[in-house]
Structure 1
C-alpha cells in the first residue's frame, strides 16, 4: 500500500482556512487554521490511511496529528509491531531521522497512537517519525498512556470522536539530534459529534501525573492555531466531560 495518499506544501502565509487533502479526519471537513504566521514556514500536509499530519520542517515534528477515531477501529485490536521509520515523503533537511533520537534520553512519542490504528498498514504508518515528538519517557509511559487509553474508552462509549494531538513549544527550547525540537507541552483535543462538544487534555512534557482539562479556546490562545474554524466562539469555551486518565479497555 502506498505510504501516504497526499503530500501538500503550503507556500504562503495565508491565515485563512488552508485546503486539506484529508478532510475525513476533521470536524466538518475543515482542517485547523494556522493563525501564528511563525508556524507556517515549511509546513507540509501528509494524509495517511487513518490519520493526517501537518508537519513542520522547522521543529521536524508534527504541528498536529488528526484522527477520526471510531469504536470499530479500536475493536480491531491490531497487535503492535514497533517499526519506527523516517518519513521519506519529507525533504531530508526538514525531517527527523532515527539517529536523532538515539541516546537522546527522549522517547519517540506517537501523536496519533498505534493502538488507535484499525489495520496493520495504518499501524505501520503510525510509526513514521512524522507522527512523533521527543517525549519524556515517564510522561509517555505514564500519564500520556493513560490519556490515550481514556480517549479510546470515550470513543467506544460515544461511538466516534475527532481527535487532534500535538505539541506546543514555549520558553527556552531544547533540541535533540540535528535540530528536532522538544515540546514544552503536549495536548489532545477530543470532539464528540454525538454531544457536539470538545475539551482538551493538556500536559507538560515532563515526569509526573499532572494534567489539566482546558477548553479549545484556551488552547487556541496558547498554540496560535484555530482548531475548529467553523465552531462558534461560544462553543469553543464549552467543555466536553472527559474521563479521568487511567488504564482502560
Structure 2
C-alpha cells in the first residue's frame, strides 16, 4: 500500500518514493511506542477493549519505512480524533516547512483514477478549496515539532489534518504550540537518559456542528496534552490546553491558558465522550529506579 496524493505530481512522487506507507491497523500494536507506557487513550465505546463503533480507524503513520506517529481517525466526520507522537526536541539546523503535496490514506478508500473525486471516508485537498469558511489545514502533529526532515514531511497527510480557523491557527494556537516547546525543552526528559528531551503528546479535535463543503467536519474545539518525566521532581507530570476553533483578532494577542490533564479530561467528558483517559494511569506514576 502506498499513499496516494491529490495531484499528478503526487502520483509521480509515490512511484519514486514507495516507502510512504501508513497502515490502517486493528490495534496500535505496531506503533505503540508513541503512547505513554505504550497504552493508547481510553475512549469508552470508541477506543477501548469493547469498542462499539466501526467508523473509527487506527492508523500507524509510516513514512520512508519508519513509523513516525499514530492517528485515530473518524471516517464519518472525515477528520482525525487525535494524533499521538513523541516530542524529542527540535533541530534548528535543518528545519524548513516541507513543500510537498498533501497525502491521503489509500487503505481508507479504494484508489480512483480521478484524484479530484471526493473519497467516502476521508478528506481530500479539494475539500479545502472554494469554501466560504475561513479555514486552513491545521496539523494535529505539528511539522515544527518533528525531530528531522522526514518526520516533518510525514505530517503532511490529510489524516493528520482538521479544518482550523485561519486566524486561530496562526494566532493563539500557534503561540500555545511555541509555549509548550519552551516548557518541554526545559522540564521534559527521558527517564532513562536525563540528557535527552522526551514528551508523549496527544493533539485532538472535538467535532462541531458545521461541515466544510458539506463533507468535512469543522471541529468545535481543539486540544493538546503532554505527559513527561520531570527529572527535577523525579516524577511524571502532565499539562493540557484546549480552545474553541473560532476566528480571532490576531492583533489582540489572545492566549490559551494551560490546564491540568484532569481538567482536560473532565472537559472532554462534559462536551464529547464521558470518562476519557488520555494517558495511562493519568501520567501520575512515580519514577522508579531501573
Paired position in structure 1 for 2:148: 119
- 2:50 corresponds to 1:41: no
Distance 1:226 1:130 in 2: 22
Which piece of structure 1 moves more, 196-205 or 31-40?
A: 31-40
- Greater Rg by CA: 2
Check conservation: 2:241, 2:264, Cα contact below 8 A.
no
Paired position in structure 1 for 2:227: 191
Distance 1:40 1:211 in 2: 32
Check conservation: 2:76, 2:121, Cα contact below 8 A.
yes
- Specify every segment of 5 or more residues in structure 1 that has no aligned partner in the other structure, as ranges: 10-17, 237-249
- Specify every segment of 5 or more residues in structure 2 that has no aligned partner in the other structure, as ranges: 1-16, 62-66, 110-118, 189-196, 249-253, 286-290
Shift of 1:207: 2.6
3-state SS in 2 of match to 1:51: strand
Paired position in structure 1 for 2:122: 95
Which piece of structure 1 moves more, 145-154 or 126-135?
A: 145-154
The number of aligned residues is: 223
Paired position in structure 2 for 1:241: none
Give the TM-score normalised by the residue count of structure 2: 0.69
Paired position in structure 1 for 2:11: none
Paired position in structure 2 for 1:231: 282
Distance 1:76 1:129 in 2: 27
* Structure 1 segment 20-99 matched on structure 2, within 5 A: 20-37=29-46, 40-48=53-61, 49-71=67-89, 73-75=90-92, 77-83=94-100, 84-91=102-109, 92-99=119-126
3-state SS in 2 of match to 1:94: coil
Which piece of structure 1 moves more, 28-37 or 218-227?
A: 218-227
Shift of 1:76: 5.5
Q: CA RMSD in A?
A: 2.4
Distance 2:281 2:69 in 1: 20
Paired position in structure 1 for 2:116: none
Shift of 1:192: 1.8
Shift of 1:50: 2.5
Deviation per CA, 1:189-242, whole angstroms, max 9, x where unpaired? 01122241112111111133242323323322324232123337xx49xxxxxx
- 2:178 corresponds to 1:149: yes
Shift of 1:57: 0.3
Distance 1:76 1:164 in 2: 26
Check conservation: 1:35, 1:226, Cα contact below 8 A.
no
